Structures are given as C-alpha cells and as structure tokens.
Amino acid sequence: MDTFTSVLKPVTKEASDILSSFYIVLGVAAFIFVIVAGLVVYATIRFRRREGREPKQFSENVWLEVLWISIPLLIVTGLFVVAVRIMYLVNPPVLGNKPDLTVVGHQWWWELHYPQSGVTAANEIHLPVGKHLLLRFESADVIHGFWVPSFGQKIDVIPGHPNYMWMTITRPGLYLGTCNSFCGMAHADMRILVFVQSPEDFSAWLAHQRQPASPPSAVGATKGAEVFREKNCVNCHSIAGFMTRGRVAPDLTHVGSRTTLAAGTLPNTPENLAKWLKNPQSVKKGVLMPDVGLNTDQIKYLTAYLEGLK
C-alpha cells in the first residue's frame, strides 16, 4: 500500500483544487520576487559609490507611486477572486447533511464514530475511495488540529465548536497525518493514520468492526481478561461484548486489528504492547494512562488477550 505524507501530493479533489491555487500564488510571488530582487541587485551594482560624484537629488514621482500602488492592487484583487472560488469548491455549505465520520480529539488520541453504522474506533481511520464524504470534528478537552497533508485542508478541533470538512478521496492508500494545533505534553505523539480502501473493502471493515469482541479462547487470554477487569482498565476503556463502561480512553474492541499503538506512536506488536503496558510514560511521555502496577505475568496475559481482539 502506498504511503502519502505531503501537501504536494494531493489525493483528494479538494486538495488538488487548493494546490492549484497554491501554484497560482507561487507563480505570482515568484514573479514579484524576481522583479524586486532584480531591481535591488541591479541598483547595488549600478549605483555603487564612485569618488567625487554627488548624485542628483530627486525624490518624487507621483506616476511611479501610482504605478506601484495600482499594479499590486490589481494582483491582490485577482488573488482574492481565486481564493473565494476555491473556498466554495472545497467547502460547500454543510446544510442538513449528516457526517460520514465524527472525529473527537482527546489529549492525545482520536476517537472515531461512524454514525451511520454505529461503529466506534480509535486513531486509525478507514474511509472509502471516491465518495463525497463529510467529516465532523469535536474536541473533548483542548483545541486540537486535524491535518492529513495529502488531504489538503486542515481544521481546528475546538471544544464546544463542532467543525466540518468535505473530502473526495481519489486514491486508495495509507495517509499519515498528525495533530497540528499544540495541545499539551504529548502533542507530537498524536498521530493519524487513514486507510483509504475500495468501497467493498471498507464495507467489510465496517461489518467486522461492528461485531462485539470475540471471547478469549486461549488460557493466557482468559486470564488477561481477568486482569483487564481487576486492574480497573475498564474504568477508562471499553470492549464491546465484555465491558463498556469506560468512555475516556480508546475503545479496545478490535485493538488487535490496528497497526499501531498509542495514536501512531509505535507499531502494534506483542513486544511493543508489553512495553507500553509496563510503563506507558516511557513510550509516550505525558500520556494520561496511569501505570497500574502490572507484574510480568499480568502483562503477558493482558498482551495475549488484547492482541487476540482482532
């Protein structure tokens, strides 16, 4: 699967529109820069001091002033028209449309709701290719920022002020993004993964995510489920089909099927999960998950249980 990270490689219709306006502005800016820098460089060479010549003392020319007032005025008027046009293309009014996905920013992870199918997930977004999607953004605490560079537009995720963003993704692939509005200690480790799939694959993924967690089968995993309950993990985390009390930390119903842990901080392997459970702060400084004092056996069982939640 191709991975995308750059503004200059747009993969949504909207991002391509925005990039086209960027290239227009870049062209205009380069043109103006060449003129200004050219004049300055020419003047510094041509009018270097030579002995015994006092320059002519001229200091006014109204027509020149009119020239360099009116031309920039025309240029910015043109750029303004470009801006308005692209704004409407990219972000038509939301009106009564229902969002396909609601993203809730938390310190320092992303909660995901697919309202039309009732699926809840975390950090790893799955979206279908080719559909005009509407995303809604909310925050549970401070201001975050949702930015997947290949999608062009970013949006602030503000508590008490839901925001919306339209997107039509044109290519399947894995898109990396990040929180881009400083949100506290672990801001740098609040990353986003977006898996863009064909509509069929996406429906299959949704159907799978809708299932409750499979009960633990292996011996270690059963003990792990006990640890999960006894060590108060349940107060923050939910596992559909097991215990769904926790609301403040990522839903773990299908945590084993995710590719990363701790909002994209490290790859999801049993070793990494064990390291994370042993001392969350050493993996992601600032994270709100407490160190609940698990011993080596408990970590082993819990790892087995959670990795089994495919």
Site for other proteins in 244-263 (CB under 8 A): none
Residues 177-206 that bind other proteins (CB under 8 A): 177-189, 191
* C-beta of 50 vs 296, nearer to other proteins: 50
Residues 19-48 that bind other proteins (CB under 8 A): 19, 21-22, 25-26, 28-29, 32-33, 36-37, 39-40, 43-44, 47-48
Binding status of residue 95 toward other proteins by CB under 8 A: no
Site size toward other proteins, by CB under 8 A = 87
Binding status of residue 292 toward other proteins by CB under 8 A: no
Contacts of residues 212-215 at CB distance under 8 Å and 24 or more positions apart, as own/partner, are 212/240, 212/241, 212/242, 212/253, 213/239, 213/240, 213/241, 213/242, 213/253, 213/254, 213/309, 214/241, 214/308, 214/309, 214/310, 215/241, 215/242
Stretch that binds other proteins, among 73-81, 122-130, 197-205, 215-223 (CB under 8 A): 73-81
Cα–Cα dist 267/259, whole Å: 6
Residues 264-283 that bind other proteins (CB under 8 A): none
Cβ 21 to other proteins shortest distance, Å: 5
Stretch that binds other proteins, among 87-95, 113-121, 203-211, 232-240 (CB under 8 A): 87-95
Paired strand residues for 193: 124, 176
Cβ 273 to other proteins shortest distance, Å: 19
Figure out which of the listed residues 16, 129, 134, 153 binds other proteins, where binding follows CB under 8 A.
153
Cα–Cα dist 255/226, whole Å: 17
Cβ 84 to other proteins shortest distance, Å: 7
Would you tell me how many other CB atoms lie within 10 Å of the CB of residue 11?
24
Cβ 198 to other proteins shortest distance, Å: 25
* C-beta of 19 vs 243, nearer to other proteins: 19
Stretch that binds other proteins, among 67-75, 194-202, 216-224, 240-248 (CB under 8 A): 67-75
Cα–Cα dist 23/227, whole Å: 56
Q: Which residues does 23 contact at the CB level (< 8 Å), separation at least 6? A: none
- Pick from 169, 176, 179, 90: nearest CA to 127: 169
Cα–Cα dist 232/228, whole Å: 7
